[in-house]
């Protein structure tokens, strides 16, 4: 049995209309936001803060988890740097709250996606 090469047929028209070019420079600033949201512990911290409806002392946040204090501090730092939480130091304790601009950041990103 002889083998024949497969015939390749070049399409006469493109299969779809050209899409808009992605705008990575406009979406890149949101990477830290989504990196912060990509961790289960950080999402749970945000849930605690949202459920409290007010600020929480870091000791209350730490007591909710079976994680070390440095680990919780690391997660809170990432959330703070992403603009998801605010913190205020009072003596030896820090108090955390959801940032008022959090929902605004998510709405801005949704607008970039055309939603």
Note the pLDDT tens digit of each residue in 30-84.
888 899 999 999 999 999 999 998 999 999 999 999 999 999 999 999 999 999 9
Q: Residue 33: inside a domain, yes or no?
A: yes
Q: Are 61 and 96 in contact (CB under 8 A)?
A: yes
Count the domains in the chain. Answer: 1
The model carries a pTM of 0.73
Domain that holds residue 67: 29-112
Phi, psi of 42, rounded to the nearest 5 degrees: -65, -35
Q: Residue 101: inside a domain, yes or no?
A: yes
Q: Residue 93: inside a domain, yes or no?
A: yes
Domain CATH code at residue 64? 1.10.10.10
Cβ neighbours of residue 108 closer than 8 Å, sequence gap 6 or more: 30
Task: Find the distance separating the first CA and the last CA of the chain, reported in whole Å.
Answer: 57
User: Quick one: pLDDT at residue 11?
Assistant: 61
Q: Residue 1: inside a domain, yes or no?
A: no
Dihedral sign for Cα 36, 38, 44, 48, please: positive
d(CA 61, CA 41): 11
> Which of 21-25, 68-72, 102-106 is predicted most confidently?
68-72
């Amino acid at each position: 049995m002889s083998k024949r090469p497969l015939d390749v047929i070049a399409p006469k028209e493109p299969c779809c209309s050209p899409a808009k070019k992605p705008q990575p420079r406009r979406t890149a600033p949101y990477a830290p936001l989504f990196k912060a949201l990509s961790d289960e512990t950080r999402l749970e911290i945000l849930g605690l803060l949202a459920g409290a409806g007010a600020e929480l002392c870091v000791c209350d946040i730490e007591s909710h988890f079976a994680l070390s204090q440095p680990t919780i501090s690391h997660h809170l730092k990432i959330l703070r740097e992403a603009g998801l939480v605010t913190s205020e130091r009072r003596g030896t304790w820090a108090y955390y709250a959801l940032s008022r601009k959090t929902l605004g950041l998510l709405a801005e990103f949704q607008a970039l996606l055309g939603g």
